[in-house]
Structure 1
């Protein structure tokens, strides 16, 4: 009755939505003949591969041009991405493309995206997090044992699976850490694409729908770069997806086993059913063993990914029991949840593991900052503007906003489709997690919380991609799919991809090659800093206590093999040593308390403000609010202090020996 009071156009729209939601078989293609079009699709696959190669060539040319001239790589980068993405999307949307061809194209696209990351720095690691793990890998290689101290990421040695595998390949092949790590992450990317397809195929009961869901996942902001770098999440997340694939298979076998038992109880089953039931029980034991074994490897790889999977499995088990699919005491899923949580807790409370302090400090800062914004005691972070006043171009803003609006527009429709088909506990679990996506985005208005939102993308997009795939599959069902619809879907997915790339690349696309900028992570890693760190490794004692800015910290730790004094490990903020105009008693006390032997000073920090909002620590004076670069006098003061020796002067980078002044203070 309420619908009848609405305008006719609104009534027709509601009726269309209801029709699409209630379509039980949107992937049915009544005119399809088995095998029809197979040769055409295979021909398209070969053409797509050729276009894919051309796209990588465009990206490589753009990056090379940027390194040589400092030009903006955006044109060649996005041209290459379009050549990679669009042809694959078109062929995957075609109803005649076979399952094997879909798998091939998805793996081709996934690995090609990984190669873009490799092209950003084909000779050495250049992303900030990569240096954190490279230090752990180097320590394992040099000491031949685990759990060496890592001052730039203290939690890394307690989750060393990536470094173990990398060192194993390096030792067997003779490759150095960079090339061995590049191969390992490349293999992980290939496994991820296979696992994504298999997971979505089991949930959607359609290989075409699975390929659409995998395409949506590829558009997440962290897929192109962050989850392609030499970092523990890049290896851990494919393992987590593979565990879900295994457990979905477990549930399928459990259902079959329950059906056979029901038939046996009614004397309706054939004689072979008892033997089949016995084989199914053996399969269940094997699958459980595989899932548990992989989870141990996952827990040894990355803490957050294991906790995320714990949460997904726990919610899945609760819904599974609530839906009364099986008694709790007979549920293998519940046993798996208890096992995974126990393993995670075992790693958390391993003696010396700083994971609780590491995560609680980050969470506390985020909650505190968000509370200040709500109470009016602090300002919200300004979107689309870097901390050195370089605004994001309008076209990049448009892509980011459009992709977000597309997601939040398709999410309700996808959730409605899911609600009508919530026969699976895992599907319901995915719906609940996907529902949280818009709410988590509010943390982008905080400085520390924005990093949390960014890093949550890889996890949230796993269920979100399934829900959005329901939106695409039901709104444009296969039996009504024509070239105009294929063109529209391709445009929407491409929009999602471009928006995700811009969002994941950060301010000024800092993860891609570009001219030097102060504290800009990838744009700050260059030859001069690496050479100064290599000098310290050659002429200074290893693991000497060094203080420096964010970029030179990781360079000195990895290439210089030095111990870095920072709040992350020692809880001491050394930024006043560099930011104070004069060297006073408080600086001397800090120098002595931190037992700092060497200071690495980068004079380039006096010429520009930091892209990331801080020079040394997120807690430093003026962090995220620097109105001008560091005063040159703050660095020049070291030249006039008695007892400080200049060991290295490379023009921009200067290394001071503070040993004499520190020893003198200790004697007094």
Structure 2
């Protein structure tokens, strides 16, 4: 078991003896921390502003602000003499800074495709005052209404707009997640110092700084996933107030279940795995049955909700599972080739990404080795951390779409890896060593800080948005948030006003997102060769009829720019890492088809109605 004092006398002090130097005024550390965080956020805001105006040195401002905030927080958390209260405040401040930075990226409207999906569900609740209204872009979202319920309540009570309310809910959820992690890690390690280091490391997982600070149902569910684990552990370990812990566990599981399907399933699996692993330790077998009981009850709650309210979950999760199984089958034919980023990805990103993996792997390996002297729960966390991290790294290297799947896995794996790595960093930062004159600081503390900074920089380069969209401003067609501009949103708003909701249509990636979330149209992900032929062929007509499509949306900028992510459409027959724009004649061919109506034209974006006489698809 870890035994550690949360604070020790500073150099030159002894217990009960006042220090010889002038002590800082009470709460001085709070003002210092807020000032540093504010300066860092200001630098990042300047970087974003310069990026939007196309001014030089946007990236240096961005990186300077990020490093300033993290380095200050990290060093203060690692220092032995920092008080527990200051450490706790610092990690919560860092989580809050992440939320503010995320808001600075798109301060006026949602531009991330996943946020727009949930914005549609929120708008449906506000408009109809009922749950389960159809969401054509993300049909499963209305069946997990936790996020939109609490956001709609905030809108109705305060009068705030949906964007402001959604941003506040996301920010509060992220800070609440950090607070819940602090409780969980302190329960596991019995050390405030290790718990705070672990929270800081968790906030470096690939999804923490962008995805899990966005307006998503996973963001709202994660704090309650952590609380479910906390109360399950307390129920298994504690001999007192067990019924209270169990009821709290049930309440948290219920919140997760109605908020996010993946988080609910992962909660069941993680608690079940913890029950299995504790059985492997002789002194931990008394924890197995209570943990297994919690997993069984959670599984029952999730099953009842899925079968009674959200049966679409089985279909929705079927595709990723099928893709994962196909990728695992391909491993039998694996010949050692690993799909890693290459040019034009900057060398800085290509170096830091594997460097972060190496550092974290080393910290976990040392932590697992040292866990033999710890409690059964700590050993359980250590071995689960090792297995999940190796699984995530392997998934990233050899599985199709491995980057996305491993990022999602690390969101939950980091709950375990953060504790193990934090234990190693704490030992390193506290190791006795000399003060070299040429450095003037403790080398072990400097090493621990440097390793943490490497992990931090690595977390940014592997996080969202990708390197080409890290600084907002430059337009990239099909570039996720960087591909959304006024041309796109204005046509979606026009569609919402003039086109019938639920009408099926073809479009590119950005158009599919905007017209389905803002315009309430029903997207067709697979356009076949519709955009790649010089004329409207019989195969195109058959494809249109097969999908009952009424509209085709054409962004003429596809003829000038190549897609930064390698494809124009979700299912793109021409998908490739390096490709050319679509010839302009292929995009304007609809003007020459008799019977087709061009019902919208902004100069760059056109929408055609496929119904009509003449040579239109439905007249053939």
| TM-score, length-scaled by structure 2 | 0.91
Cα distance, 1:661–1:546 mapped onto 2, change above 3 Å: farther
Structure 2 counterpart SS, 1:648: strand
Q: 2:453 aligns with which of 490, 494, 506?
A: 494
Q: 1:599 aligns with which of 524, 534, 552?
A: 552
Q: Separation in 2 of the partners of 1:373 and 1:581?
A: 40
Cα distance, 1:543–1:204 mapped onto 2, change above 3 Å: same
Cα distance, 1:491–1:426 mapped onto 2, change above 3 Å: closer
Q: Separation in 1 of the partners of 2:288 and 2:353?
A: 47
Largest Rg, 1 or 2: 1
Structure 2 counterpart SS, 1:436: helix
Q: For residues 262-661 of structure 1, what are the structure 2 equivalents within 5 Å?
A: 280=240, 283-321=241-279, 323=281, 331-350=289-308, 353-369=311-327, 371-372=329-330, 375=333, 382-385=339-342, 391-421=344-374, 423-425=375-377, 427-445=379-397, 446-477=399-430, 483-566=442-525, 573-617=526-570, 619-625=571-577, 627-660=579-612
Cα distance, 1:221–1:664 mapped onto 2, change above 3 Å: closer
Q: 1:228 aligns with which of 213, 217, 228?
A: 213
Corresponding residue of 2:437: none
Contact 1:27/1:479 (8 A) holds in 2: no
1:131: Cα distance to partner? 0.9
Q: Please list the CA deviations of residues 615-651 of structure 1 after superposition, one character each: whole Å capped at 9, or x if unmatched.
A: 112x321223552222222212111111111111112
Corresponding residue of 1:6: none
1:64: Cα distance to partner? 0.8
Cα distance, 1:640–1:626 mapped onto 2, change above 3 Å: farther
Structure 2 counterpart SS, 1:620: coil
Q: Please list the CA deviations of residues 538-590 of structure 1 after superposition, one character each: whole Å capped at 9, or x if unmatched.
A: 22223322221111111112222222233xxxxxx224222333311222122
Structure 1 counterpart SS, 2:564: coil
1:376: Cα distance to partner? 6.3
Contact 1:434/1:460 (8 A) holds in 2: no
Q: Separation in 2 of the partners of 1:336 and 1:376?
A: 39
Q: Separation in 1 of the partners of 2:411 and 2:404?
A: 13
Structure 1 counterpart SS, 2:238: helix
Contact 2:385/2:414 (8 A) holds in 1: no
Q: Separation in 2 of the partners of 1:437 and 1:597?
A: 46
Q: 2:197 aligns with which of 203, 212, 223?
A: 212
1:661: Cα distance to partner? 5.5
Cα distance, 1:405–1:40 mapped onto 2, change above 3 Å: farther
Structure 1 unaligned regions, length at least 5? 1-22, 255-279, 567-572
Structure 1 counterpart SS, 2:308: coil
1:413: Cα distance to partner? 0.7
Corresponding residue of 1:10: none
Cα distance, 1:581–1:70 mapped onto 2, change above 3 Å: farther
Contact 2:268/2:296 (8 A) holds in 1: no
Structure 2 counterpart SS, 1:576: coil
Q: Separation in 2 of the partners of 1:143 and 1:84?
A: 43
Cα distance, 1:30–1:154 mapped onto 2, change above 3 Å: closer
Q: Separation in 2 of the partners of 1:75 and 1:313?
A: 43
Corresponding residue of 1:165: 150
Contact 1:44/1:91 (8 A) holds in 2: no
Contact 1:431/1:467 (8 A) holds in 2: no
Cα distance, 1:411–1:340 mapped onto 2, change above 3 Å: same
Cα distance, 1:458–1:330 mapped onto 2, change above 3 Å: closer
Q: Separation in 2 of the partners of 1:143 and 1:24?
A: 54
Q: Please list the CA deviations of residues 84-126 of structure 1 after superposition, one character each: whole Å capped at 9, or x if unmatched.
A: 1111112112222222211111111110111100000111011
Structure 1 counterpart SS, 2:552: strand
Q: Separation in 1 of the partners of 2:286 and 2:234?
A: 19
Count of aligned pairs: 606
Q: CA RMSD in A?
A: 2.8
Greater Cα offset, 231-240 or 554-563: 554-563
Cα distance, 1:514–1:329 mapped onto 2, change above 3 Å: closer
Q: Separation in 2 of the partners of 1:374 and 1:627?
A: 30
Q: Please list the CA deviations of residues 487-517 of structure 1 after superposition, one character each: whole Å capped at 9, or x if unmatched.
A: 2211111111111011103532425413111
Contact 1:646/1:654 (8 A) holds in 2: yes
Contact 2:381/2:419 (8 A) holds in 1: no
1:398: Cα distance to partner? 2.1
1:30: Cα distance to partner? 7.1
Structure 1 counterpart SS, 2:612: helix
1:229: Cα distance to partner? 0.7
Corresponding residue of 1:63: 48
Corresponding residue of 2:99: 114
